[in-house]
Structure 1
Amino acid sequence: METSNTQCLVVGGGPAGIVLGLLLARAGLRVTVLEKHADFLRDFRGDTVHASTVRLLDELGLGEGFRRLPQSQLNNFRLPTEDGESVVLADFGLLKAPYNYVAMVPQWDLLDFLVEAARQEPTFTLLMNTEATDVVRDAAGAVEGVRFRTRDPQSGETMDTGELRAGLTVACDGRGSIIRQRAGMVPREFSVPFDTWWFRLPRTASEHDPVASISPRFGRGDVLLSLTRKDYHQIAYLAAKGLDADLRREGAQAFRDRISRLRPDLADRVDTIRSMDDVHLLDVKLNRLSRWHRPGLLLIGDAAHAMSPAGGVGINLAVQDAVAAARILAPALLSSTLDESHLAAVQKRRWLPTVLVQTFQRVLHRGVFARVMAGHEPRPPKPLLFVIRHFPGFRKLPARMIAFGPRPEHAPGFARRKPDA
């Protein structure tokens, strides 16, 4: 077993982990990011890049390159109503350009782009195909790193094991965080009315929807979301939580019928769902830790507060966590004065945005998704519908809240660069 050291260890190579690694490396810190997969080419990841993240990329000097990635733009956020129509809740066009839209970008393209930028920093290291398996503690119980293993990407067999010690370990390993589990930290769970089943369907040459655009369809008891890829549709089927066993027992043909009912235009290709093995369950969670840190350990993003897919805000909230963490922690790490008060400051900074966004998601769950899953038409609160319909300018407020969040973060001065620098 090998043992090595770094100043900061980041577990998880998603958007939060890579952004944190990039920012800390730009501060001159030795930072190592562990990613358990061999690449980022995995289906069924969120694609929404909100204005807060686009602005951050501009501040980092990466905006021009980001805009060259394959993407489309969402110009508004709509709520379904009982009459089968929809109303515009948030009109991003009311915001000041160039941050007046939500970008839809395949996440693997975004991650590859961020990694390329991070690798320009000599103190940044990314270890792919390397999975954290446990935390390492000192004699007083403080976390001082992790144990890890590397796997053969073909066979999945363990190739090597080791320990990586660090002045600080940051868990960005998502809603199923192994670091959170090994540290004995248990989040508070909130009720969620639906789960999500992901699969893909072919895209024909005659279709002209923009790449990464999203198309929702609401039924009585279920919802279908379609994200357009270059050669296929990435589909999310939403139905009542706990329904997975029933769906699999009903079989593939019954599932194909459900999809055809919601999207008749896709009925000619649902037979590519050969069996229910082609359909992947996401057990949707909405939770948060009351305390995001222990001595030597900080959790951010979904590891600290799992978000519902409602509103597509999870990635961007996690990136904002990473920015706040880098700004607060980098000076203390550089001066070797880091203690738990700095970790607590990160949580304090990001606590209110987390609670506000999760509260918004819980309102959507009750007013829209819970009703749909129960077989009723969605019913947003009547006072909200009245304001939306009679005061169009109101749409700027939820647009800003969705696009930027309740406390958007700016890139710290040490991480800023001129475009294409």
Structure 2
Amino acid sequence: MPADPAVVDTDCCVVGGGPAGMMVGLLLARAGVRVVVLEKHGDFLRDFRGDTVHPSTLQAMADLGLLEAFLALPHTKVSALSAQIGDETIHLADFHGLKTAAPFIALMPQWDFLDFLADAARRYPTFDLRMNARAEAVVEHDGRVAGVRVATPDGPLEVRARLVIAADGRRSVLRDAAGLPVEDLGAPMDVLWMRLSRKPTDDPEAPLGRASAGRMFVTIPREGYYQCGYVAAKGTFDAIRSAGMEAFRHEVAQAAPMLADRVEELRSFDDVHLLTVTVDRLTRWSLPGLLCIGDAAHAMSPVGGVGINLAVQDAVAAANILHDAFGLDDAALDERARAVQRRRLPPTRAMQSLQLLIQDRLVGAALSGRALKAPAAMRLFERFPRLRRIPARVLGLGFRLERVRSPDAFSG
């Protein structure tokens, strides 16, 4: 007979220790809510995750009084974004004019970001982070989600909670278990991520996207190397791999000529990591006792690097709405959970619509092999530099900036 699971009782169980899960866990614990965060891995060391920390997230750190300490971590500051389309270089966004605590993008490994949030959250006695804890199923009682069944190295665990927040990503176990309906918005591409060395004295210090007939490539500067993304037509990775590494090195050299002298660093396809791009969103983010946020509620395209920042904005909004709801009855708590979707769906829909437009007009055109020219609207950014503030505002702060309103129950 299998052993009975150990049981933990809490106010809120957060499934997933990514940006959304760690931020909402920190904010709710800070407000005095008992929170258990479950992370299925033993650490946060996964490469080729989103590493672009935008001004909206930096503003949240400032609201928490953590910005100075956060920026003491190794990072690269990016104050402008450009793209090379065909033979033209277009300066797209200038963040200098943003009226925010940190008007720039901080490029930082996501594991450093998550470790920082975890350390900040551990200062609160109401926070409990469980690593190597894989959520496997929801617990239901009287028609509502009442907790989560968890596999741990020490045996089965049952976390009972008044609210379960699913922040377990685009392949969310909990959203699938709950049967929440998903609207697939489509994506024409996948991304092959890799590392290539960077020459700090000669190579550009800012991210750069390149689009030409049949190819798209992104370079993101990191300490000592570039995180590179080769954009491939959806579902073609098997064919690329079958063609062999030498052919792929040639493709990379054609897509990014400045890196042609470094493609031999790609020794095999073990050095290439496939991101299967999905763009979708739930039509309903919650059930009684359950709320989905971040990628579990809406998987974003990598276009613009906004994914982790939209997830953090969900977390901030969720904490603002929910922090004082755990003293209310179940019906009132569930209504607050529904209010999170009402708050966050419009900016999510707007950002995904913009990403889909770029995918259709630029990514799809590039991958089709057609000759590319910069759209007329983009050329306006070259003629009128002040217009670069518009994409900076959209990419940097999103369509609705969430400020931290939840209290610190332990201050003073």
TM-score, normalised via structure 1 length: 0.90
Cα offsets for 1:258-308 (capped at 9, x unmatched): 112223443344333232233221110111111100110000011001000
Determine if contact 2:10/2:34 at 8 Å carries over to the other structure. yes
Within the alignment, does 1:111 sit opposite 2:105 as a pair?
A: no
State which of 187, 196, 221 in structure 2 corresponds to 1:192: 187
In the alignment, what sits opposite 1:96? 99
**Structure 2 equivalent of residue 129 of structure 1:** 132
Letter in structure 1 aligned against 2:182: P
Equivalent residue of 1:122, what SS? coil
- C-alpha RMSD over aligned residues: 2.2
Q: Which of 28, 44, 47 pairs up with 2:48? A: 44
Which residue does the alignment assign to 1:87?
A: 90
Is 1:367–1:380's contact at 8 Å kept on the other side of the alignment?
A: no
Aligned twin of 1:317: 310
SS in 1 for 2:70: helix
| Aligned counterpart in structure 1 of residue 336 of structure 2, from 337, 342, 347 | 342
Distance 2:200 2:342 in 1: 50
Residue 204 of structure 1 and its aligned partner are, at CA, apart by 5.9
Letter in 2 for 1:309: P
1:222 aligns with 2:215: yes
User: For residues 194-249 of structure 1, what are the alpha-carbon distances to aligned partners after superposition, in whole Å with 9 as ceiling and x for unaligned?
Assistant: 10111223446866665xx5233333222222233334332211111111110111
Q: Are 2:287 and 1:300 equivalent residues in the alignment?
A: no
Partner of 2:81 in structure 1? 77
Match of 2:165 in 1: 170
In the alignment, structure 1 residue 58 sits paired with structure 2 residue 62? yes
One-letter amino acid of the counterpart of residue 337, structure 2: L
Contact 2:150 2:158 in 1 (8 A): yes
1:191 CA displacement: 2.1
For 2:159 and 2:227, how far apart are their aligned partners in 1? 37
**1:365-404 equivalence runs, <5 A:** 365-379=359-373, 381-382=375-376, 384-385=377-378, 387-404=380-397
Counterpart code for 2:370: H
Post-superposition shift, 1:325?
0.5
The answer on 1:247 being equivalent to 2:240 is yes
Distance 1:220 1:130 in 2: 46
Aligned equivalents of 1:378 and 1:99: distance in 2?
Answer: 35
Please tell me the residue identity of whatever aligns with 2:99: K
Match of 2:149 in 1: 147
Aligned to 1:358: 352
CA distances 1:80-117 after superposition (whole Å, capped 9, x unpaired): 445x2132332212323643222211111111111111
Amino acid at match of 2:229: A
Identical aligned pairs, as a percentage? 45
Stretch moving more, 84-93 or 340-349: 84-93
Structure 1: distance between partners of 2:38 and 2:257: 43
**CA shift at 1:378, angstroms?**
4.0
Q: Residues 20 and 97 from structure 1, CA distance in 2 versus in 1: closer, same or farther, beyond 3 angstroms? A: closer
1:215/1:227 contact within 8 Å kept: yes
**C-alpha contact (below 8 Å) 2:88/2:374 kept by paired residues:** no
Look up the SS of the partner of 1:145 in the other structure.
strand
Instruction: Answer yes or no: is the 8 Å Cα contact 1:371–1:379 preserved in 2.
Output: no
Equivalent positions of 1:252-291 (< 5 A) are 252-291=245-284
SS at match of 1:217: strand
C-alpha distance in 1 between matches for 2:320 and 2:233: 41
Q: Which amino acid aligns with 1:360?
A: L
**TM-score normalized by the length of structure 2:** 0.92
Aligned length: 407
**Structure 1 274/381 Cα, relative in aligned 2: closer, same or farther at 3 Å?**
closer
In structure 2, the residue matched to 1:156 is none
AA partner of residue 122 (structure 2): R
Q: After the TM superposition, which residues 17-36 of structure 1 pair with which residues of structure 2 at under 5 Å, given as runs?
A: 17-36=21-40
Q: What letter corresponds to residue 134 of structure 1 in structure 2?
A: A
Instruction: Structure 1: state its 5+ residue gaps.
Output: 152-158
The answer as to whether partners of 1:194 and 1:239 remain within 8 angstroms in 2 is yes
Inter-partner Cα distance in structure 1 for 2:234 and 2:245: 19
Structure 1 residue 78 displacement after superposition: 3.1
The worse-fitting range, judged by mean Cα deviation, of 315-324 and 70-79 is: 70-79
